[in-house]
Structure 1
Amino acid sequence: MRTVHAAALLRLTLDAEPAAGQAVLVDGDRIGAVGPLDELTEAYPGVRVRRWAGTLGPALVHDGPLPPAPTPRERVHALFRLGVAAVLAAHVTEPGLRAAATRNDVVVLGAFRPPALVEAGRADLAVFADDGTCLATVVAGRLVHRRA
């Protein structure tokens, strides 16, 4: 199902200046398009639109040990609450933890790469409040965290 994610501001990379009025079309696990919200909703009539407060941008790459939790699954879900969709392989060497990351579509990277929103790229998005709190995380097109 196609979904347009829109927020007050959108940034394509973590260090890019945020722009107003922009949105991301997610089609399955990929980014179908990035552009003005009104153009995307016109080009895709009937598309579901999720509107978020805050700034929408690429999900983060976690560079460090995963947060402590009782189970590997809970450790991975703790990453989602931080806006993370990728981790470095050096921090998921335990088989159970690596399996939990894989089951939840977390990308395991051999080396750090800066996240970015690009058309045809994997739909890994996060929305952050002004204070840096993660409001929502989308991993491979699936909404995996939404702050209540």
Structure 2
Amino acid sequence: MQTLHAAPLLRGTLTDEPTPGLAVLVTGDRVEAVAPLAELTAAYPRVRVRRWAGTLGPALVHDGPLPPAPTPRERVHALFRLGATAVLAAHVTDPELRVAAVRNDVAVLDRVRPPALLVTGRADLAVFADDGTCLATVVAGRLVHRRA
């Protein structure tokens, strides 16, 4: 299934200046294209389009202990509310927490890598409001958090 994610602004990396008019085409769990929204909607007229307020970009890598919560699953979902879809292996050493992370497609990394939207890369996206609040998180192409 293909989904087009569009927002007023898009950044390819966390340090890029936000660019207006771009969108991300996701096929399955991969980024298929990052291009102007008009080009993508013309090329894929039947694609499902998700329009977000805020700035769309790569999801974050969480570099620290997972937020506290009553269960491992809730701790993982707390990451999604922050816009993170990856965590360092050193912070998921508890077997139940690691299982919850893997089950929810959280990338467990040996070291921090700079987040980036890359064509053919894993579709880990986040949308942030001007105040830094995460509005939506997509992990491996799947919408896992949307702020009400």
- TM-score normalized with structure 2 length: 0.99
The CA distance in 1 between the partners of 2:32 and 2:113, in whole Å, is: 21
- The 3-state SS of whatever aligns with 1:98 is helix
The CA distance in 1 between the partners of 2:21 and 2:45, in whole Å, is: 18
Structure 2 equivalent of residue 58 of structure 1: 58
- The 3-state SS of whatever aligns with 2:69 is coil
In the TM superposition, what is the alpha-carbon distance from 1:98 to its structure 2 partner?
Answer: 0.3
Structure 1 equivalent of residue 120 of structure 2: 120
The CA distance in 2 between the partners of 1:99 and 1:30, in whole Å, is: 23
Runs of 5+ consecutive residues of structure 1 not aligned to the other structure: none
Task: Give the CA RMSD over aligned residues.
Answer: 0.3
Letter in 2 for 1:127: V
Within a 5 Å distance, the mapping from 1:72-83 to structure 2 comes to 72-83=72-83
Deviations 1:64-93 (A, max 9, x none): 000000000000000000000000000000
In the TM superposition, what is the alpha-carbon distance from 1:31 to its structure 2 partner?
Answer: 0.2
Letter in 1 for 2:48: R
The CA distance in 2 between the partners of 1:119 and 1:43, in whole Å, is: 17
Deviations 1:73-132 (A, max 9, x none): 000000000000000000000000000000000000000000000100000000000000
The CA distance in 1 between the partners of 2:67 and 2:118, in whole Å, is: 28
Structure 1 equivalent of residue 96 of structure 2: 96
Structure 1 stretches of 4+ moved >3 Å: none
Query: How many pairs does the alignment contain?
Result: 148
Letter in 2 for 1:4: L
- TM-score normalized with structure 1 length: 0.99
Structure 1 equivalent of residue 136 of structure 2: 136
Structure 2 equivalent of residue 17 of structure 1: 17
- The 3-state SS of whatever aligns with 1:53 is coil
Deviations 1:38-60 (A, max 9, x none): 00011111101100000000000
Structure 2 equivalent of residue 40 of structure 1: 40
Runs of 5+ consecutive residues of structure 2 not aligned to the other structure: none
The CA distance in 1 between the partners of 2:65 and 2:122, in whole Å, is: 24
Structure 2 equivalent of residue 8 of structure 1: 8
The CA distance in 2 between the partners of 1:46 and 1:64, in whole Å, is: 41
